[in-house]
Amino acid sequence: MKPLIVLLASFAIAIFFNKILKKEYDFELSARIAMSVMLVFTAIGHFVFTKGMSLMIPKFIPFKEIFVHLTGVFEILLAIGLLLPKLKTIAGWALIIFLLLMLPANIYAALHNVNYQKGTFDGNGLAYLWFRIPLQIFFIVWTYLSAICKN
């Protein structure tokens, strides 16, 4: 829920500042700025909640904490890429692939009741997926429309 709030609030702020600075609405740029802000926000979670996010990764995958940190760094790189006109399309496609690849981790976390903030197994469980899967689809559509569609 927090990433969605960050995304929508950042979008509203970006629209406001784009209108003031450019004297016009730039929804595409505002959407990319918002996604970039949200990605940095979620990337911070990879460093703050490393232990809990490690629990989201199936047991057979080694070096979980390093993997969590690397995906956090990757989110920051994607955030930067979305803001650079020459890289926005490749960053957009990379983000869509990344979101699709991360969905199994969210499903695994829900099946195992992972609470990534506490690093415990008392999370929301399967009910979480009723929100998370549509949210992941929303993020994919948002990325496609703002970074890829008009290129």
11-49 pLDDT tens trace: 999 999 999 998 999 999 999 999 999 999 999 999 999
The per-residue pLDDT for range 43-62, each reduced to its tens digit, is 999 999 999 999 999 888 89
Provide the number of structural domains found in the chain: 1
pLDDT grade for 149, boundaries at 50, 70 and 90? confident
Tell me, what DSSP letter sits at residue 125?
Answer: G
pLDDT score for 127: 82
Q: What CA–CA distances, in Å, run from 89 to 25, 52, 73, 94, 107? A: 21, 32, 19, 9, 28
Q: State which residues form the domain around 88.
A: 2-148
